[in-house]
Amino acid sequence: MGGAASGPVPERARRGVPRHVACVMDGNGRWAARRSLPRTSGHRAAETTVIDVIEAARSAGVKWLSLYAFSTENWQRPGAEIDFLMRLVRRVVRKHAPLLHARGIRCRFLGVTDPRIPPPLARDFADLTTLTAGNRGMTLTVAFDHGGRRDIVAAARSLIRSGVPAEAVDERCFAAHLPFPDTPDVDLVIRTSGEQRISNFMLWQVAYAELIFSPVLWPDFRAPHFLECLHTYQRRERRFGGVRPNENGERRP
């Protein structure tokens, strides 16, 4: 299936492993607060979870994993916390790049347009993207300085600049102007910490995603929690706006 597909949504095997899982990594601050620690301690503790979830997804057969690391709204946080996050993310990227490459994981970064991102960090993102570009295992997309609405606005501007007639614009055409248009629609969104919202994450791609809101704070989230989310997904029936054959007065053949 192509990125952000349009038209009729293809049938997918029930109880199968979701092709694309997206995680909203939430709860670092509350994890730290419950331990009377600074928020930065929660961000630092999240590193273990990130690697654990990546390994669990790859081992389970997930082909696309997207992690929401830093949103366009996160720039409103205190400057000291932002500076810490930038340094932390750079250290994590440099530390784990060899492992990700050895696992055959293709890495890329969704967003990364704000000039406030330190140039060394932007270079590390670019270097990891180049290093792993030829890998054919799972694709890991890290949403950093990302906003779903901004992506949609950017796609609309791209269409206008391209001179596409209004009558020619359909979902498939529009999706082709989004960042990374080869990204398939998200099958499953997992948000940790118990919060129940999307928070401007990949808005186009999550249109038909199943949503699971785990009460576990992200630094405590581990492979067994991730696998339980996959099992919950497998027990659901995805209809994409349709009905079961025995509903609405119809009978199963």
- Any known ligand binding at 29? yes
- Any known ligand binding at 75? yes
> Residues 52, 74, 200, 220: which is the catalytic one?
74
- Any known ligand binding at 198? yes
- Any known ligand binding at 191? yes
Q: Is 74 an annotated catalytic residue?
A: yes
- Cα-to-chain-centroid distance, residue 149: 15
- Any known ligand binding at 197? yes
- Any known ligand binding at 14? no
- Any known ligand binding at 83? no
Q: Is 112 left (phi over 0), alpha (psi -120 to 50) or beta?
A: left
The answer to whether the beta carbons of residues 106 and 141 sit under 8 Å apart is no
- Any known ligand binding at 59? no
Report the distance separating Cα 18 and Cα 61, nearest Å.
Answer: 8
Write the DSSP assignment of 150-215 as a string of letters. Answer: HHHHHHHHHHHHHT--GGG--HHHHHTTSSSTTPBPPSEEEE-TT-----SSSTTTTTT-EEEE--
> Residues 26, 145, 151, 185: which is the catalytic one?
26
- Any known ligand binding at 28? yes
User: What does the chain come to in residues?
Assistant: 253
As annotated, the binding site for substrate includes 27-31, 39, 43, 71-73, 75, 77, 191, 197-199
Catalytic residues: 26, 74
As annotated, the binding site for Mg(2+) includes 26, 210
As annotated, the binding site includes 26-31, 39, 43, 71-73, 75, 77, 191, 197-199, 210
